[in-house]
Amino acid sequence: MAHAFLEHPGPLAFAHRGGAAHHPENSWSAFEHAVGLGYTYLETDVRATADGVLLAFHDHSLDRVTDRAGRIARMPHEEIAAARIGGSEPIPLLEDLLTAWPGVRFNIDVKQALAIRPLAAVLRRTGAWNRVCVCSFSAHRLRAARRALGRRVCTALSPAGIMSVQVAGNLSGSGQMLARRLASAGVRCAQVPAVLATRSFIRRAHALGLQVHVWTVNDRTEMSCLLDLGADGIITDEIVLLRDVLAERGEWHPGSRQGAAPERRVAGR
């Protein structure tokens, strides 16, 4: 059975870090631009500060993309709130993004174990259970997240799970067992790099009841080829390009523009 997060009339279009080809990654301006284009799926990352505030931020430190330096896990939010992405953009809180656009869904990459409990707390406060898909490159973090959330949400396969799909697809008995195990855990999709998104992998994933979302695809020809192979979603920085590709195929189904840009919260909690 498909999860509510995945209910959409055509291929899912994910704005990677808000659409990093157009605005600074994981910034308010990036997310606002994507929503303004009609995107209803935003991809982001989460990390927690030393005092448990959950940021939409990719790196373990501020150094690469902001005007400050330091490891996020060792700094209180009051200090981090002064940092600016690209020198001008405040770092969003995940909770503020979820409340800013109640009709938008978020694909959330959990980057550290420290972020798991704050994520559970944010989802409880916002009630956004059906609007998120939780993923991670760590199977351990995914298992811990499922325990902390305390209820089933849409999740993506871990790298180990992706390998299991590749193997189990050739074995009908073990494949059926894997399908039941994945469904009971709330796993509803495989999110993979383009090199793994072959016709055979997509066929095997579909046989297990999983959608296949491919990252991070920024080339027109590659987007079209993957959609022709049966990919269920594309994760891209080039959000204008993906919109145009889907529109040309009659598969672009935008959401509402959802009004004016929301207030940006930057103060510590």
Instruction: Tell me, yes or no, if 58 is annotated catalytic.
Output: yes
Q: What is the distance between the alpha carbons of residues 70 and 95, in angstroms, rounded to a whole number?
A: 23
232 CB-near residues (< 8 Å, 6+ apart): 6, 11, 12, 189, 211, 212, 213
Q: What is the distance between the alpha carbons of residues 258 and 113, in angstroms, rounded to a whole number?
A: 33
**β partners of residue 213:** 191, 233
Contact 265, 48 (CB under 8 A): no
Tokens, residue 214? 């491919």
Active-site residue among 3, 16, 33, 77? 16
Q: What sign does the dihedral 204-210-215-220 (CA atoms) show?
A: positive
b/e burial code for range 145-182 (CB count within 10 A of at least 16 → b) = bbeebeeebbbbbbeebbebbbebbeeeeebeebbeeb
State how far the alpha carbon of 267 is from the alpha carbons of 8, 87, 92, 96, 119, in Å.
Answer: 35, 17, 10, 12, 19
Contact 8, 70 (CB under 8 A): no
Active-site residue among 58, 60, 206, 253? 58
State how far the alpha carbon of 192 is from the alpha carbons of 94, 111, 123, 212, in Å.
Answer: 24, 17, 25, 7
Instruction: Tell me, yes or no, if 16 is annotated catalytic.
Output: yes
User: Which residues have a catalytic role annotated?
Assistant: 16, 58
